[in-house]
Chain A
Amino acid sequence: MRHPTARILAAALALSAVALAGPGRAADEPPAKAVEIKIDNFAFVPEELTVSIGTTVTWLNADDVPHVVRTEDKTIKSPPLDTDDTFSYTFEKKGTYSYFCSLHPKMVGKVVVQ
């Protein structure tokens, strides 16, 4: 459990670091963003999301059962998220991140980072 927790902390720290760095940013840099994906009725909502680099995405589990947010290669891997638990990940690289719930693999989603 230590590892995923560390990841969440790291993501949280990264988010606060970005927030703190905010005022000092060059004027032409886009502001850091935070976006939420809701897990509801065994689905990721929205299922597909396009964000800019540096965006922190937070998954919120609104279901009565636990879910896991994971990419096939485990680049992103949340701990089990019980009801109302959240998991955040900051996307630092361009690309398409296809992910799924490793408990209920029929649940799939995608984050496109531009």
Chain B
Amino acid sequence: MSENKRNELTGDDHDGIDRRGFLKCMAWAGAGVLYVMEGGVLKSGTVGDPSEFGRASSSKDLLFVQISDSHMGFDKPANTDVTATLQAAIDKINALPTSPAFVLHTGDISHLSKPTEFDTVDQMLKQVRTERIHYVPGEHDVLGDDGREYLDRYGKGTKGSGWYSFDAKGVHFVGLVNVANLKAGGLGNLGADQLQWLEGDLRHRSASTPIVLFAHIPLWSVYPEWGWGTEDSAQALTYLKRFGSVTVLNGHIHQIMQKVEGHVAFHTAASTAFPQPAPGTAPSPGPMKVPAEELRKLLGLASVDYIRGRQALAVIDTTLEGA
């Protein structure tokens, strides 16, 4: 059976009671812990029916899926067959009771920015039963050619190094690029041009619009010692202060991690390729070799339900186990 982790995140409180004070992070151990926030109140319990995964069914609801870090081309001991595990993720998506409206790929599509690596992923993702796939680049996708190969393939209609926004079912999605022009000694970086664009993109939206930001490197300080953070993310988040519901989806760290800070919920997705160690638990963040039977428990994808009227975004992580 799949292991699901469920995390329901709530934005505006329509009864006028500010319940933000109730929000806090809950530490969990192991799999199968339910992590729910409804009406601003944190609830927890164990996962019951995994068929809840992907339950958005009303035409007003929105279901989408996040996959990340497919690292096509990687062939080291941590996972010698990243094609098979990406295929397992695709099979999981296609087994959802409701097809997702779209899929977000939060970067590191390829391992070395090679055209053949992008080609393989593109071909494979054509099997996904969804309307379209939205991408942001990871640092592995912009190697060698300042991101030209990436932009030629995925950059149509985007600005700068590939940032853009779109709307779906009343939710505003913003894809940000924090892997371009990285500076020595630094972290991920958005840069002044992108920040200016972001401010303008959000300026005229109503505060009740749910916002989903997605980018490769975490937009919160996960573990700066390993470069797991973004230099100027605090500036970006100031533009989001007035919004009641903000969800930030990232990849890069190849493990599930989440944090709620006021009205902003941060979430990182697992990789479909290989796991990386928890912050500070290894000499470096390099690929983590685990026993073969453990690998798929540490890989996965995230499914996100937005249920209109409840102003809630529910993030459900599913591992590739059993696929």
Contact = CB atoms under 8 A, between A and B. Distances in A.
B286 A1 contact: no
B111 interface: yes
A63 B111 CA distance: 14
Interface residues of B, number: 25
Interface stretch (A14-22, A25-33, A86-94, A99-107): A99-107
Given A79-B144, A80-B112, A104 B227 contact: yes
A64 B283 CA distance: 13
Q: SS class of chain B's interface: helix, strand, loop or mixed? A: loop
Interface in A41-69: 41-43, 63-66, 68
Contacts of A106: 185-187, 225-227
A66 B78 contact: no
A100 B184 contact: yes
A100 B185 contact: yes
A105 B185 contact: yes
A12 interface: no
A105 B287 contact: no
Looking at A43, A65, A66, A99, the one whose CB has the most chain B CB atoms below 10 A away is: A65
A83 interface: yes
Contacts of A41: 283-284, 286
Interface string B178-222: 000011111100000000000000000000000000000000000
9 contacts: A4-B144, A42-B284, A63-B284, A103-B139, A103-B143, A106-B186, A106-B225, A106-B227, A108-B185
Q: Which 8 A-B pairs have the closest CB atoms?
A: A100-B184, A41-B284, A42-B284, A106-B227, A105-B182, A64-B76, A80-B143, A41-B283
